[in-house]
Structure 1
Amino acid sequence: MAPVPLPALFPPGDGAHHTWPAPNYINPQTRDWTASACIIAFFIVTFAIFCARIWARFKITKTPGLDDWLIIASMPALLGMTISIVLGLRVYGFQLHIYDQTRKTHITVRQVYSNFLSFRACKGC
């Protein structure tokens, strides 16, 4: 007996999930590397700007402020979030359609999503 897909976190209110195609657990359609590559590229640009700012504030003007220390403290969290999103998009189920999710990927998708929510809560947004 084939496993039945679990409903989405927030299933469509009009019952449209009954019109979804049958799940394809053998060879599902997945995302390519485009989203992951864009996220990695944006992190590289962000890190370069961060390094330039820290270098300018600490070496050139020699007047680092509280904002610089807060940026330094937030960079490890940003790196962790970037890694989490890329892993989510490539390994943990975000690369699949909702109707191709298995019981295992339903759990991992929620774990990565809760990581994202805790990052947003810690950031204050």
Structure 2
Amino acid sequence: MPDRGDVQRRTVATVARELIDRWERMFGLLQAFREREGHTNVPTRHEEDGEQLGDWLQRQRKLHKHGLLLGMRAQRLEALGLAWDPLAEQWERMFALLQAFKQREGHTNVPAKHVEDGEKLGERMFGLL
């Protein structure tokens, strides 16, 4: 009969393996999403192959923010092009486009229908007013 410590060690090992396998499955679903959609900005409530991929990705972002995401996992997510703070990244991109517009045009009065580098900069600016 195995001793209690041996059973607990096997149980911990089993749970650890299940957690690793689950993370790998979700990462694989994120890879598939990126290949299909061209980005990793998964909507929060998005399901992929019956799994809550959006919720999982939000948890990864929170873990990263609090310094609790393993470095190797963070690197793998970054290699896919994941933005840890997508709203801040989007704001920075739009600000850079506005700066380019100002540099070229000499003002920041962007027409409502203006598109800059594929982005609807005019609509974004109008939304800020």
The answer to whether TM tops 0.5 is no
Give the number of the structure with larger relative contact order, counting CA–CA contacts within 8 Å between residues 6 or more apart. 1
Give the TM-score taking structure 2 as reference length.
Answer: 0.31
Give the TM-score taking structure 1 as reference length.
Answer: 0.32
